[in-house]
Amino acid sequence: MPKFTKRFVESIVPDPQKMIKHWDSELKGFGLIVLPSGRRTYCVQYRNAQRVQKMFKIGVHGQVTTEEARVLAKKYLSGVVHGHDPVKVKKESRDLPTLNELARDYVLFHGGKKQPKSLKEDQRLLKTIILPALGTSLVAKISRRDVEALHRDHQKTSYQANRVISVLSKMFTLANTWGWCEDNPAKGVQRYQEEKRKRWLAADELKVLWKVLDEYSNQHTAALFRLLILTGARSGELLPSTWDQFNLEASVWTKPSRLTKQREEEHVPLSPQAIEIVRAMQSQSTSPFLFPGKVEGKPLQEVKTAWNTIRKKSGFLDLRIHDLRHTYASHLVSSGLSLSIIGKLLGHTQASTTQRYAHLADEPLRQATELFGSNLDKIIGKER
């Protein structure tokens, strides 16, 4: 019974009638299985803690070298001495869920709690980035280093890379709750610095956009953008809205919790200008939706094509639909309204979310300090 070497392993002549086994002369329990087909597989044979004899396959010759198989065999046999059972571990691992399965259940059980647009983005990140890299990995075996490596691979698109970490963190939180893993390897991963967009329409730009909306061929779609400007709503809240949400006598739009980002019902006061637009639309509507889609019984799904046409005609190629919400908030701040009131109008539950508009609140402050300066001039008798 010789020591296994590459030359020896490859010199063995298979028995066309049966499987044969050879054992290494140097490392007890290190074996080689030779099939009638000629396939050669390295293995270890051992007795577990219950003294039951088991065999564990290491790998096929050609895929692993003889020396690599020897090193692995020593590792497994050493583990047996310390109470480990490689066959049992392999079986348990085979029954453990992979990230593919976690992603499926994440969408199934958690997807209904998210806005449709947000869920669609999660599914895109899963399909294009997360699952191609980690889909077949066992949930319990994915490490912090694996997650950091994925994050680093996409650092050129920092915003997207950070969203990947957010999705993974939510998924592992669920997996931990279900007992699929002991910790969350995405928790605490340092995000890349993101520059917050501060695009909003100044008065002269708003005038240009409004003129383009007045001239747009589809006035029903134009009404959507006018209402987004006048209410500061998200497009995902307004597109699926129904007439029963609007109390025009009380000038209130009640957004159901299923449509709001915070999953809480919101009561939004409507301006006379918004009421006028809604009344005009209602007088011509035969659908339960303010913006009915092409499929009967469904609301309009997206207006990207119309928006691209409108912003090109306006000359504002960098303007997103969501920037209309920023425009609403920014003009209110510049007019002197408090951030707390604006936060309530926007449906913010955290004051820090509205704080992004704080830099615009200096105009009323400037007017106030100029007023004092003028009063002081009068007091001291100084003319300007």
Single-letter code of the amino acid located at 318: D
Task: Report the alpha-carbon distance of residue 101 to residue 221 in Å, rounded.
Answer: 40
Task: Report the alpha-carbon distance of residue 144 to residue 130 in Å, rounded.
Answer: 14
Catalytic residue among 325, 326, 328, 331: 325
Q: Tell me the β-bridge partners of 255.
A: 266
Is 22 marked active-site? no
> Listing from the earlier edge strand, what are the strands of the sheet with 266-269?
246-247, 252-255, 266-269
Is 144 marked active-site? no
- Asked whether 176 and 184 are in contact (CB, 8 A), the reply is yes
Contacts 24+ apart (CB under 8 A), 211-217: 212/310, 212/313, 212/314, 213/310, 215/313, 216/306, 216/309, 216/310
- Asked whether 2 and 25 are in contact (CB, 8 A), the reply is yes
Give the pLDDT confidence score for residue 165 in this predicted structure. 95
Single-letter code of the amino acid located at 278: V
Per-residue pLDDT for 359 more than 60? no
Mean pLDDT of the chain: 86
Q: Between residues 330 and 173, which one has the greater pLDDT?
A: 173
Check the CA dihedral 310-259-343-227 and report its sign. Answer: positive
Catalytic residue among 57, 104, 322, 356: 322
- Asked whether 346 and 324 are in contact (CB, 8 A), the reply is no
**pLDDT tens digits, one per residue of 25-66:** 999 999 999 999 999 999 999 998 888 899 999 999 999 999
What's the mean pLDDT in 146-161? 92
Identity of the highest mean pLDDT range in 88-92, 209-213, 228-232: 209-213
* Fold category of 203-319 in CATH: hpI Integrase; Chain A (1.10.443)
What's the mean pLDDT in 225-237? 90
Per-residue pLDDT for 169 more than 60? yes
Catalytic residue among 261, 313, 320, 344: 261
Is 357 marked active-site? yes
Give Dmax (Cα) for the chain.
118
Catalytic residue among 234, 255, 311, 326: 234
Query: 94 — phi, psi (to 5°)?
Result: -65, -30
Give the pLDDT confidence score for residue 367 in this predicted structure. 67
Give the CA dihedral 292, 293, 295, 296, nearest 10 degrees.
0
Best CATH choice for the domain 6-95 from the list 3.30.160.390, 3.20.20.80, 3.90.1560.10, 3.40.30.10? 3.30.160.390
Is 348 marked active-site? yes
Q: Between residues 78 and 49, which one has the greater pLDDT?
A: 78
> What is the chain's percent helix, strand, coil content, to nearest 5?
55, 10, 35
Domains of the chain by residue range: 6-95, 99-177, 203-319
Say which range, 149-158, 247-256, 331-340, has the weakest mean pLDDT: 331-340
**pLDDT tens digits, one per residue of 369-382:** 777 677 767 776 76
Say which range, 90-94, 132-136, 151-155, has the weakest mean pLDDT: 90-94
Q: Under CATH, which architecture does the 99-177 domain have? A: Orthogonal Bundle (1.10)
